[in-house]
Structure 1
Amino acid sequence: MKLKKLAHLIALIGITSPVLAQDMPAADKIQRVEITGSSIKRVAKEGALPVQVISAESLEKQGITSAEQLMATISANGTGADNPTSGNNVFGADADRVSGGASFASFRGLGPNSTLVLINGRRAPTHGKSGKAVDLNSIPMAAIARIEVLKDGASAIYGTDAIGGVMNIILKTDYQGIEASAYSNATQEGGGDIYRASLIGGHGDLEEDGFNIMGTVAFTKNDKLSSRQRDFANGFQPGRGLSPDTTGTPFANQLTGAGTALGTGFTRPGDPNTYLQANPLSFDGKCDTVEGMSQYQTALWKDVTSPLRSTYSCAYDYGGDYIMQSPSEQANALVRGTWKLSADHKIFAEAIGSRSEVISILTPAQISTSLANGNAYPVGGRYYQDLSAYIPTFNRNLPIIYKWRANPLGNRTQENTTTSGRLLVGAEGVIRGWDYKVGLSKAQSKTHMDLLDGYAYTADFYKVLGSGIVNPWSLDGTQTPEAMAAIERTKYRGAFQTGKTTMTQLDGTISGELFDLFAGKLAMAAGFDLRRETYLYSQDVAAEPILLAPGNANLPKASRDVKAVFAEFIVPVTKDLELQLAVRRDDYSVIGATTNPKVAFRYQPTNWLLFRGSANKGFLAPSFTQLYTGALRQELASGIIDTVGCAANPGDPRFCAPERFDYISGGNQKLKPETSKQGTLGMVIEPFKGFSASIDWWAINMKDRILNRSASIVLQNAALLPQNIIRNPDGTIDYVQAGWINAAGAKTRGIDVGLRGDGKFGDGYKWNATLDGTWTGSYKFAEIEGQPYKEYVGLFFTRDLYLRWKHSATFSVSRGDWSFLLSNNFANGYKDQLPNNGKGTPPPGFDPDVSSYTRFGLSTTYTGIKNTTITVGVQNLFDRDPPFTAHNVDDVVGAGWDPRVADPRDRAFTFNVKYKFL
């Protein structure tokens, strides 16, 4: 169903509703509140848009204390790499290598930029280093009252970056007393334990005393979890189609090359084939005598261009040598004061602050030496490795070049420290029956990275390797004190890079009822939003001289102003049908202006049946990093041709056999905004008291998606991206514009399902059940405009997985002082990545399907001790390992498992105690 048809259907229901309408009983008078998805205060049970509400009590009973655990319970959230586990890597074509341990929301899998995260209905600062979205780790979890998830585009109400939906985190604002809590989460197998302590206190009753002052502080500590602590994290399972595709081993593999001991290739006695790498452990079948090493599996990684490249090489399970949970510490604080000026007016001031320290630990650097770099192993060195016994053509009078995992250099270790804060002052109240609110805020997030170990000045380190004092063929990994001292002198430790975002915002809204219509009051809201946003990213030292230094080029401080005005109307068409009409105009100082409308309806023909739907447009401005990241001019590897130029000039070496091409990566100030059209159509039934069910169909069409494309991909699609091939007057290529480009569009369709039930049974027992699930019917997109759209639901992909079905469910029973909660999270399986993307040869019996992943949790809460609440529980009750996947860890991290889907901690035991002093 296309979006135009949806709009027509909305109109049709509006025309036919008087015929279908039936009498409804009068609603009980209850307090009006503002629900996410509308700026108009209304009765809480009303609404035209699908909103999922997650209570703080439910989070506590499930033992959820981190943003990563929270996002796993929201079925509408994408199954992508927007979490700290996936972010702690250097792999993947679209990996965010400056996320600094952050965790992001990505509704519908549209990316963090497309999901708006609010705190009490207002914006929070984006992550200081990445700059793309709000880091959920900066949210004070201990102060959360509830979380409202709007599963619908809201660009017309909240801003252009709400295409995928809105996550509104509602914090406690009127607390009295003092309460302390302590929480522990210990894994059964060790590693990855989590601890948290919090304190909240408040004084003053807003109604009786005219004021309330409250504050909360919380501290969380996450212990390190290494892949070596989990059996399933094993990258060498060749019988299942998985083995490492690297020959950068702690016991080095020798390489071939002109002027080296192996020459340009070698043969074995009685074997006419030519081979390109050699290792004596491989010849003797002893690669596995060194921890993490194994015989290279040529069949799995066979490439038609060099099928015998690594036959006599050892491989290294670098994916299994991985930190699955980085050690980290987070501290959050909130202070809020509210003063009641009169019965209808109050003012408030609020300060939120957080500090996060994350230690990112990566495997040691992989080194490929060469004669040109001066780091080849010299003839006559004390550790010179003579392979004459295996290779008759080995020339012991020439130097050796090799590929080596430089373990003596140490794990590449980074410390990312992020401080975030928001200071807000505001007022709200009622004037002549109209609700108003106004606020002025200043927010900032700053992330600083220090390099702690594993990084060295390239020239100095290569000089040490070329001296021959380092042994690349040490079986136990040890080096002499002399060698270690020489390596130590080459290292860089200290400040490396800093990123900072700021936001100054003035916003205001009024809402109320205008006049009577035939079917009721016409309600409206209007408001404005003025923001100044800034971003900078700088290297504290030059990154180029440091071997494998992470990060991006410098981005001097950039800023933009955003001015927005919006209006919203609730129009009662009949007593059973109402329309929500909204429009917002945003004016970006560097992008331009955009106007985005929204229409939604709510039709309730009986007291047990509700129909609802919406249609709207979206507009997503490019981020600072996408626009302004510093440009880097580099050279492509040799052997890449100009496909378009060669086709027009066959045989001309300038086009068909060029020496090298230059390319420029980084920001692109010519980017257009992403645009979207989307809609929902659903129904809610409540056939009897204590049970309700909702089903909402949704559809999103996007154009001009902004993606980061490599120079090789641009050249492969030169005919479709002529604007990215910058040519000289003679038609030859001057350079290739890579980095951020407007790629093709995307189309996704699906259904959200919600079930709610509660009741009583037996002698005072109460029960409650919930289920929130998302069925994704289709997710299609093209990598480049002009290419055909491809379906990705249920298939392996390197950015996000688009799973057919995901849900979270709970069932609780309570009586007196006791309550029990059973929870379940489920993620559908999908087709696995084939070895070498289908170029390799899968082993006999290879299973192309990754199985589904389901976890149960069980907890019990006791409140029978005065002022005390005790909760104990088990997460992953049946100790389910993550499902096996044979994907290449160069594309997505996780050897034998996928952190986008599964929790690597396995079974864990939780204990939470709260004590209220006053």
Structure 2
Amino acid sequence: MARVEVTGSSIKRIAKEGALPVQTITFEQIEKQGITTTEELVRTISANGTGADNMTSGNNVFGADADRVSGGASFASLRGLGPNSTLVLLNGRRIATHGGSGKAVDLNSIPLSAISRVEILKDGASAIYGTDAVGGVVNFILRTNYQGLEASATANVTEAGGGTTRRATLLAGHGDLENDRFNVMAAVTVDKNDMLHSHDRDFANGFQPSRGLSPDTTGTPFANQLTGAGTALGSNFTVPGDATKYLQANLLSFQNKCDSIPYMSQYQSELWKDVTPVTRTRFSCAYDYGADYVMMPPAERANAIARGSFQIAPGHRLFVEGMASRSKVTSILTPLQISTSLANGNAYPVNGPYYQDLSQYISTFDKTKPIIYKWRATDWGNRTMDNTTESARLLVGLEGTLDRWDYKLGLSRAMSKTQTALTDGYGYTTQIYQALGSGKINPWLAPGQTQTAEAMALIESTKFRGDLQHGRTTLTQLDGSISGEVFDLPAGAVAAAVGFDLRREGYEYGQDADATQILLAPGNAALKEATRDIKAVYAELIIPVVKDLEVQLAVRRDDYSVIGATTNPKIAFRYQPANWLLFRGSANKGFLAPSFTQLYSASLDQELPNGTIDPVGCPLNPGNPDYCAIPRLDYKSGGNSNLKPETSKQGTLGMVVEPFKGFSASLDYWIINTQDKILNRTPQIILANQPGLAANVIRNPANGSGVGTIDYVQAGWINAGGVKTRGADLGLRADGKVTDVKWSAALDGTWTQSYKFAELAGQPFKEYVGQFFTRDLYLRWKHSATLTVSRGDWSGMLSQYFASGYKDQLPNKGIGAPPAGFDPDVSSYTRFGLSTTYTGFKNTSITFGIQNLFDRDPPFTAHNVDEVVGAGWDPRVADPRGRSYSLTLKHKFF
């Protein structure tokens, strides 16, 4: 039997259930489920986290924890520990991390159509693969020795419209490695995804106040007037019969017509009364920008891979492998939100042709004064940016057998670069302010009205179009290993492997334009090129202790030129007392060095939504909005050169049973404990963790209350206290035959018993399983299951994906009592798929599939869209496309 190298070990051996839990997904399974992108595939893996590492969530500018330089990328995050903690490999070797964020490998750069299978190691592998494999390894393994010419095309169309995906692939190979002593193979894939807008889905509705969900923004397409000294409304105003002093006003609110403008509604003051005072919002309109949002951005991708293998001598092979990919994702965001002021010179002038007089409703309205207002500037158009990422890797390798020793040697060079260009909706701040101050632009367009040609020309003159910023990562690697049997023990031969890994990593992020001059540009980070060298050596032993018991010992030492050196050991065992029963387990240590972005990224200036509470200043100044309902608080985020490495201790203990032929079950319990967890902390978290993080809250001089108002919050990367998580993976496999019908079934599920997190060292750990959280959700149970049957030329597959429910975010940010109709539980999410394949035509197969068979909508959630993408739904859990139909045609020419 052929010996193979299985993910989790450097020693080739006969393939069998090993000491480490490895899940394998074949290309046939992927294809029959209608999966067309690597992001979709990884999201079906139960051990992968339920977080904001997908393109839909990454298309968000509202969330304080948004990754604003991900460039339409998506990432893997095993155990929910973050993309940095998951190592993504191609044929067992590294590829460059995403050129924009630099944090991890972009899944979109993986040539999915050329792979043979995917192996997921659900155990820390720092001792084998490197310090960044704390959460596990996802290894994409390409086809080898392919012969022939094959073309395939796939279309996946949604029933409700929008979000259509298309794919075309050409795969060619020539030569048999054993007989011809060579094989060359190449594959090219082109993908195109259409945009899916919230307009196209009824469940994307952020105005459901009876259920606890409504917008918390007064930046509306029909502007809200603001109060201020020297303005038409003055410092405040009253209405007849009411002595309350109010701070915002909208003509449509007085007329009960807020909803006459698409996506606008009356601000729900009662729902938000404990966050934003009623004095600010009773006569304001709100804007549901979560429902006016692009759920899935349009995307175009092309992947190409070529591999040539040559048998230069019996048992020795030289191979050259090249990979290239190009991804263009168009991020489309809602229009600019602008708050005008007298100081900026963009107030609406008294002599303007559209001056809005509210004297009919407010007796103190002063028509001799300018108006300041908050406006969603829809006439500037949606903020649109093109994110183009190009990745490549060239690998030259040598592998073979010397006597009884297997060896491999590889030299590779990989890069990824991202270019972000603004194409519409953005403009120069100074010119925009000047245009607004001219009075020629009407911020109070009634239904059916449009701006004048002069106003539109003025708006167009303020716009910035062109390249904004770019990023680039590089990876040069020389690695090698040798493995084989070293000596015999009574229970069998001892196998060993030793190897080395030399890498140089580089990252840079630069500006093509001064983002500080462009209103609400998505980022102004700049990082001059930084590099670091990593030198690593490792060794591994597999020792047969007694009959049916073997132990795996591994150790690796990595030396970072910037961070320092670390040694990480691992021990695992495999015990099979009977041919139907296997016990296995492992224990290891991990070390995660901070990334370039985490260490060196420049500061980004951003702002929080209305209603932020200062937990220190508000109790000392009750009712004072400067402390208890801060409007649009500034905060900064970025790198932290003082970060410490993250360390971990983890282990697994499990069993595999095969009580009868055709059925097997595995159950593996896992534990991971980390310290100095590296996390990008939101300003809300910084504020909530004073005095421990008081140095990150920069205040103005005190005014007699003992504490000054907040100038800004320094958010960004910090060493958090740590994470303690544990749970179990369940795997079920069965197959059989009834007359001439073959069938097989499989289930892979993950039960998370606990995910506890401490914000600071010394703080108590808080449980997050089954609870709403703004970055990741830690669900109690997730699984993917399939049932396949085949007979003759026909085969079919029924698939199911399940994610358990969780406790919703409390309305009113949990400060006040939720409304009577609020359901605190977000329901579970189940999605079925059905496909059938016919191979009766010569060299041709046809697969027809239905995804989301029962057209299940995402479960309702009342989370506030300012913190998590979505209006009434959550893209971290559910697919917004609804029922879709896929057709795949594949023809092999020879």
Q: How does 1:433-582 map to 2 (within 5 A)?
A: 433-475=404-446, 476=448, 478-582=450-554
Q: How does 1:203-222 map to 2 (within 5 A)?
A: 203-222=174-193
Choose the corresponding residue for 1:183, options 154, 157, 175: 154
What corresponds to 1:619 in structure 2? 591
Q: What's the offset of the Cα at 1:175?
A: 0.6
Q: Residues 299 and 841 of structure 1 are in contact (CA less than 8 Å); yes or no, is this contact kept in structure 2? A: no
What corresponds to 1:98 in structure 2? 69
Q: What's the offset of the Cα at 1:68?
A: 2.3
What corresponds to 1:825 in structure 2? 801
Q: Residues 526 and 566 of structure 1 are in contact (CA less than 8 Å); yes or no, is this contact kept in structure 2? A: yes
Distance between the aligned counterparts of 1:538 and 1:638, measured in 2? Answer: 32
**SS of the residue 1:567 aligns to:** strand
What corresponds to 1:158 in structure 2? 129
Q: Residues 662 and 736 of structure 1 are in contact (CA less than 8 Å); yes or no, is this contact kept in structure 2? A: yes
Q: Residues 302 and 839 of structure 1 are in contact (CA less than 8 Å); yes or no, is this contact kept in structure 2? A: no
Distance between the aligned counterparts of 1:141 and 1:377, measured in 2? Answer: 54
What corresponds to 1:20 in structure 2? none
**SS of the residue 2:188 aligns to:** strand
Distance between the aligned counterparts of 2:36 and 2:709, measured in 1? Answer: 57
Which range moves more in the overlay, 302-311 or 386-395?
A: 302-311
Q: How does 1:716-727 map to 2 (within 5 A)?
A: 717-721=689-693
What corresponds to 1:652 in structure 2? none
5+ residue gaps, structure 2, are: 621-626, 703-707
Query: Structure 1 residues 317, 725: closer, same or farther in 2, change over 3 A?
Result: closer
What corresponds to 1:10 in structure 2? none
Q: What's the offset of the Cα at 1:711?
A: 5.8
Which range moves more in the overlay, 544-553 or 730-739?
A: 730-739
**SS of the residue 1:308 aligns to:** helix
Instruction: Give the letter aligned to residue 586 of structure 1.
Output: D
Work out whether 1:406 is the aligned partner of 2:377: yes
Distance between the aligned counterparts of 2:634 and 2:267, measured in 1? Answer: 34
Instruction: Give the letter aligned to residue 160 of structure 1.
Output: T
Q: Residues 499 and 535 of structure 1 are in contact (CA less than 8 Å); yes or no, is this contact kept in structure 2? A: yes
Q: What's the offset of the Cα at 1:73?
A: 1.4
Choose the corresponding residue for 1:695, options 667, 672, 684: 667
Distance between the aligned counterparts of 2:72 and 2:712, measured in 1? Answer: 34
Choose the corresponding residue for 2:115, options 136, 144, 147: 144
Distance between the aligned counterparts of 2:131 and 2:888, measured in 1? Answer: 40
Q: How does 1:201-600 map to 2 (within 5 A)?
A: 201-303=172-274, 306-475=277-446, 476=448, 478-600=450-572
Alpha-carbon deviations, 1:83-132, whole Å to 9, x = none? 00100010223211111111100000000000000000000110000100
**SS of the residue 2:800 aligns to:** strand
Aligned length, in residue pairs: 880
Q: Residues 256 and 265 of structure 1 are in contact (CA less than 8 Å); yes or no, is this contact kept in structure 2? A: yes
What corresponds to 1:168 in structure 2? 139
Q: What's the offset of the Cα at 1:627?
A: 0.6
Alpha-carbon deviations, 1:419-475, whole Å to 9, x = none? 000000000000110000000000000000110000000011100100100000002
Q: Residues 297 and 332 of structure 2 are in contact (CA less than 8 Å); yes or no, is this contact kept in structure 1? A: yes
What corresponds to 1:750 in structure 2? 727
Q: Residues 275 and 812 of structure 2 are in contact (CA less than 8 Å); yes or no, is this contact kept in structure 1? A: no
Query: Structure 1 residues 876, 645: closer, same or farther in 2, change over 3 A?
Result: closer
Alpha-carbon deviations, 1:143-166, whole Å to 9, x = none? 010000000000000000000000
Distance between the aligned counterparts of 1:822 and 1:632, measured in 2? Answer: 47
Q: Residues 212 and 821 of structure 2 are in contact (CA less than 8 Å); yes or no, is this contact kept in structure 1? A: no
Distance between the aligned counterparts of 2:852 and 2:617, measured in 1? Answer: 57
Q: How does 1:12-23 map to 2 (within 5 A)?
A: none
Query: Structure 1 residues 230, 727: closer, same or farther in 2, change over 3 A?
Result: closer
What corresponds to 2:705 in structure 1? none
Query: Structure 1 residues 477, 317: closer, same or farther in 2, change over 3 A?
Result: farther
Distance between the aligned counterparts of 1:760 and 1:632, measured in 2? Answer: 61
With structure 1 as the length reference, what TM-score do the two structures score?
A: 0.93
Distance between the aligned counterparts of 1:253 and 1:625, measured in 2? Answer: 39
Alpha-carbon deviations, 1:25-81, whole Å to 9, x = none? xxxxx2211100011111111310000000000001111011221122100000000
Query: Structure 1 residues 640, 903: closer, same or farther in 2, change over 3 A?
Result: closer
Query: Structure 1 residues 505, 778: closer, same or farther in 2, change over 3 A?
Result: same
Alpha-carbon deviations, 1:729-760, whole Å to 9, x = none? x9999997642211110100101000000000
Distance between the aligned counterparts of 1:727 and 1:387, measured in 2? Answer: 37
Query: Structure 1 residues 634, 77: closer, same or farther in 2, change over 3 A?
Result: closer
Q: Residues 536 and 558 of structure 1 are in contact (CA less than 8 Å); yes or no, is this contact kept in structure 2? A: yes
Alpha-carbon deviations, 1:296-317, whole Å to 9, x = none? 1111111267233101111111
What corresponds to 1:765 in structure 2? 741
Which range moves more in the overlay, 610-619 or 294-303?
A: 294-303
Query: Structure 1 residues 912, 640: closer, same or farther in 2, change over 3 A?
Result: closer
**SS of the residue 1:844 aligns to:** coil
With structure 2 as the length reference, what TM-score do the two structures score?
A: 0.95
What corresponds to 2:859 in structure 1? 883
Distance between the aligned counterparts of 1:159 and 1:819, measured in 2? Answer: 41
Q: Residues 407 and 477 of structure 1 are in contact (CA less than 8 Å); yes or no, is this contact kept in structure 2? A: no
What corresponds to 1:898 in structure 2? 874
Query: Structure 1 residues 841, 373: closer, same or farther in 2, change over 3 A?
Result: farther
Distance between the aligned counterparts of 2:42 and 2:140, measured in 1? Answer: 13
When the two chains are superposed, the root-mean-square deviation of aligned CA atoms in Å is 2.6
Distance between the aligned counterparts of 1:571 and 1:53, measured in 2? Answer: 25
Distance between the aligned counterparts of 2:305 and 2:734, measured in 1? Answer: 34
Distance between the aligned counterparts of 2:668 and 2:609, measured in 1? Answer: 50
Alpha-carbon deviations, 1:849-891, whole Å to 9, x = none? 1100000000000000000011001000001011011100111
Q: What's the offset of the Cα at 1:661?
A: 12
**SS of the residue 1:162 aligns to:** coil
Q: Residues 64 and 608 of structure 2 are in contact (CA less than 8 Å); yes or no, is this contact kept in structure 1? A: no
Q: Residues 211 and 340 of structure 1 are in contact (CA less than 8 Å); yes or no, is this contact kept in structure 2? A: yes
Distance between the aligned counterparts of 1:767 and 1:321, measured in 2? Answer: 46
Identity fraction in percent: 72
Q: Residues 720 and 786 of structure 1 are in contact (CA less than 8 Å); yes or no, is this contact kept in structure 2? A: no
Q: Residues 421 and 468 of structure 2 are in contact (CA less than 8 Å); yes or no, is this contact kept in structure 1? A: yes
Instruction: Give the letter aligned to residue 356 of structure 2.
Output: Q
Distance between the aligned counterparts of 2:800 and 2:66, measured in 1? Answer: 30
Distance between the aligned counterparts of 2:10 and 2:325, measured in 1? Answer: 28
Work out whether 1:31 is the aligned partner of 2:6: no
Q: Residues 514 and 524 of structure 2 are in contact (CA less than 8 Å); yes or no, is this contact kept in structure 1? A: no
Distance between the aligned counterparts of 1:403 and 1:758, measured in 2? Answer: 63
Instruction: Give the letter aligned to residue 734 of structure 2.
Output: G
Query: Structure 1 residues 643, 405: closer, same or farther in 2, change over 3 A?
Result: closer
What corresponds to 2:678 in structure 1? 706
**SS of the residue 1:573 aligns to:** strand
5+ residue gaps, structure 1, are: 1-29, 649-654
**SS of the residue 2:430 aligns to:** helix
**SS of the residue 1:430 aligns to:** strand
Query: Structure 1 residues 807, 712: closer, same or farther in 2, change over 3 A?
Result: closer
Q: What's the offset of the Cα at 1:698?
A: 0.4
Q: How does 1:639-658 map to 2 (within 5 A)?
A: none
What corresponds to 1:602 in structure 2? 574
Alpha-carbon deviations, 1:769-824, whole Å to 9, x = none? 00000000000002233322110000100000000000000001101100010000
Distance between the aligned counterparts of 2:613 and 2:204, measured in 1? Answer: 39
Work out whether 1:783 is the aligned partner of 2:759: yes
